[in-house]
Amino acid sequence: MSLHSVVIVGAGQAGYQVAASLRQEGFSGDICLIGNETGLPYQRPPLSKAYLLGKIGVTNLCFRPEAYYAEQRIDYRNDAACAIDRGNRRVTLASGAAVSYDHLVLALGAHNRMLPVQGSELDGVFGLKTLADADALKPRLAQSRHVVVVGAGFIGLEFAAVASALGAAVHVLELGDRPMARAVSCEMSEAFRLAHDGWGVHLDFHQGLTRIDGVDGKVSSVVTSDGRILPADLVVFGIGVIPNVTLAAEAGLAIDNGIKVDAHLLTSDPAISAIGDAACFPSHFLERHIRLESVQNAVDQARNVAARLMGKPLVYAALPWFWTDQRDLKLQIAGLSEGYDSTVVLGVAQERQITVLCFRRGQLVAAETLNRPADHMVARRILARPAMLTEQEAAAPGFDLKAWELAHR
């Protein structure tokens, strides 16, 4: 079937990128980009970093100025998709309008898992997902003395880093036994634990909360699992996200920890693709379906779909990579360390410059670099090709990642 119209639902990182890549690839048909947040499509990573610190403004967050969408003939609509009529290939919008498609791309993202405790509705309790969240949080943060963060994952720790830099007393509650445990090695967790400690952030492991208390509707304290009362004028939670699947599920598409897609990012309906945080795809690296929440994943999947729609289909096999910035620490991760069974650490921990190479059965599967961006780029190139660095080679005295790459070209 020839392709005249592409409708994209979700105007975040992935949705915007499909529209932009389709035009870059020379698509001349209709593109309708539907986003249910107000304003222009924007990037989320700075929300918990530079934007919250006041270092950049909204203009810097937006992918493109308004004129871009008109120039590129991208019909960008602030609206919400309510239903998909697959038989007639039509999407109904909250405004009452309907748009027809030859191909539909679902880039719906994810929403925050909410705090399941009494008091989470109090004024002063925040999640951090959208620009609206950040705009509400920013002035409160400026006035807060006692901040409790729930969750020591990426978002929780990025926020803790900002709040401590702004002078607040920060207490982080984490059910697990180390920072960012789901995503990084023990060695890297330890580097971040020490850094937060040095910034005065109190990391409280094996600890949740049972209640949030308030005075006149405003947060005043948090009760921890072991019964302590922590003073709090601000509570920020980052306890994971849930993929937005309702629209797809109601349309009868296959769902399994996200909208299930094949190696070409097609859903169970060949006229519909799904990408980004909402999509669960067969991983080239783990040989099972996974869902990733990262800019890399959103952008590379968007490009893959745009190329397929332009007649250049490719199995999705991009190397995953990720970053987080916390004060003077830049952590970059290449590959997926899941199931790693050994590590080799390069560099000097005291100088906050290390690379942790993660191996599974002796083969390199991921590299975590702290303030060593050159190593990150080399690791990405090494991980993206078949000839793999072994643990034995990396553990040799004086091993250097760049030199290894040059020798194995």
Ligand X SMILES: Cc1cc2nc3c(=O)[nH]c(=O)nc-3n(C[C@H](O)[C@H](O)[C@H](O)COP(=O)(O)OP(=O)(O)OC[C@H]3O[C@@H](n4cnc5c(N)ncnc54)[C@H](O)[C@@H]3O)c2cc1C
Q: How far is CA 177 from the centre of its chain?
A: 22
37 binds ligand X per the rule CB under 6 A: yes
Q: How many residues bind ligand X (CB under 6 A)?
A: 36
Of 36-44, 185-193, 303-311, 398-406, which segment contacts ligand X by CB under 6 A?
36-44
Closest approach of Cβ 393 to ligand X, in Å? Answer: 29
The answer to whether 210 and 117 have CB atoms below 8 angstroms apart is: yes
Phi, psi of 175 (to 5 degrees): -70, -30
The answer to whether the beta carbons of residues 27 and 73 sit under 8 Å apart is no
State which of residues 164, 267, 304, 324 lies at the interface with ligand X (CB under 6 A). 324
Cα separation, 258 vs 243, whole angstroms:
6
Report, in Å, the least distance between residue 108 CB and ligand X.
4
Q: From CA 270, how far away is CA 255, in angstroms rounded?
A: 15
How far lies 341's CA from each of 177, 181, 309, 337, in Å? 18, 15, 40, 9
**In sequence order, what are the residues at sequence separation of 6 or more whose Cβ sits closer than 8 angstroms to the Cβ of residue 254?**
260, 267, 268
Token pair 């250049």 in the structure block, residue: 312
3-state secondary structure of 400: coil
Q: How far is the CB of 42 from ligand X (least distance, A)?
A: 9
Amino acid at 41: P
Closest separation in Å from C-beta 324 to ligand X: 5
Contact 216, 232 (CB under 8 A): no
- 301 DSSP β-pair partners: none
6, 15, 32, 372: residue in contact with ligand X (rule CB under 6 A)? 15
Query: Of 161, 156, 198, which Cα lies nearest the Cα of 176?
Result: 156
Q: Which is nearer to ligand X, 210 or 246 (by Cβ)?
A: 246
**Binding map of ligand X across residues 238-277, x = CB under 6 A, - = no contact:** ------x--x----------------------------xx
> Distance (Å, rounded) from C-alpha 115 to C-alpha 398?
48
Residues 157-186 that bind ligand X (CB under 6 A): none
> What is the smallest separation between the CB atom of 107 and ligand X, expressed in angstroms?
5
* Residue 14 makes contact with ligand X by CB under 6 A: yes
Minimum distance of ligand X from residue 130's CB (angstroms): 7
Residue 204 binds ligand X, judged by CB under 6 A: no
371 binds ligand X (CB under 6 A): no
What whole-number distance in Å separates Cα of residue 250 and Cα of residue 246? 6
Q: 254, 158 in Cβ contact below 8 A?
A: no
* Least distance to ligand X, CB of residue 404, Å: 26
Cα(87)–Cα(340) distance, rounded to whole angstroms?
45
Q: How far, in Å, CA of 52 to CA of 325, rounded?
A: 13
Q: Mask: binding to ligand X, 40-79, rule CB under 6 A, as x and -?
A: ----xx-xx-------------------------------
Residue 387 in tokens: 């000839």
Q: Which is nearer to ligand X, 15 or 282 (CB)?
A: 15
Among all residues, whose Cβ is closest to ligand X? 12
Rg, C-alpha atoms of the chain: 22
**Which lies closer to ligand X via its Cβ, residue 185 or residue 294?**
294
Question: 370: closest CA among 354, 383, 381, 357?
Answer: 354
Sign of CA dihedral 63, 246, 289, 268: negative
By CB under 6 A, tell whether 369 contacts ligand X: no
Shortest distance in whole angstroms from residue 266 CB to ligand X: 17
Site string for ligand X, 108-137 (x = CB under 6 A): xx------------------xx--------
Counting contacts by CB under 6 A, is residue 155 touching ligand X? yes
Q: Which residue number, 33 or 382, has a Cβ lying nearer to ligand X?
A: 33
Build a one-symbol-per-residue string for 276-315: x at contacts with ligand X by CB under 6 A, - elsewhere: xxx--------------xxxx-x-----------------
Residue 217 Cβ, how far from ligand X at the closest point, in Å? 26
Contact with ligand X (CB under 6 A) among 323, 342, 347, 399: 323
> Which of 193, 199, 194, 191 shows the shortest CA–CA distance to 353?
191
Closest approach, Cβ 342 to ligand X, in A, equals: 26
Residues binding ligand X (CB under 6 A): 9-15, 34-37, 44-45, 47-48, 80-81, 107-109, 128-129, 155, 244, 247, 276-278, 293-296, 298, 322-324
